[in-house]
Amino acid sequence: MRTHDTSETGGFADMVRPVLTGVISGVLVCLVLMFAFAALMSANSLPMTFAAAFASCCSGLGSLIAGMVCAKKLKSRGLLAGLITGAVMYLILLLAGLIFTGGGMSSASLFRMMIVVICATIGGIMGVNFNFKIRRKT
């Protein structure tokens, strides 16, 4: 009788660690970008109307990085990895928004969900298909 090895078939449990690594890196990138945009807005006294656009850009770039990191760790299934990473990252951003602002779901949050999931999916595809390495100086 044959037993199935889950490491060869690639079950859902094999995706948990890469997804968490991708989400953590994406949230960190998002936070750094938001702090940078906040400093830019306060230094140049830009109007608050730019805040939503900056937040959407930060969310998109952070989720792109998250999808790339997750798919690079998995080395396969970039589309699925990006979708799952984007969904998890959106839930984290949504919960943070609900906790800190107290607002509810709106058309802007649905638009941000589309941005995060699409960017993470593109990042997942890029992470699997493109060969990029971080070179260390020795």
**Is 87 among the domain residues?**
yes
Prediction pTM value? 0.80
The rounded mean pLDDT for the chain is 83
**Number of separate helices (H) and strands (E) present in the chain:** 5, 0
**Is 134 among the domain residues?**
no
Number of structural domains (the chain) is: 1
Q: For residue 83, what pLDDT band results from cuts at 50, 70 and 90?
A: very high
**Is 6 among the domain residues?**
no
Look at 11 and 25; give whichever has higher pLDDT: 25
Query: Whose CA is closest to 88, among 68, 106, 66?
Result: 66
Cβ proximity of 62 and 27 under 8 Å:
yes
pLDDT in tens, 85-136: 999 998 988 888 788 777 667 777 788 889 999 999 999 999 998 876 656 6
Give the domain range for residue 107: 17-35+52-129
**Is 137 among the domain residues?**
no
Give pLDDT, residue 135.
66
Inform me whether the pLDDT recorded for 5 exceeds 60.
no
26 phi, psi to nearest 5 deg: -65, -40
**Is 4 among the domain residues?**
no
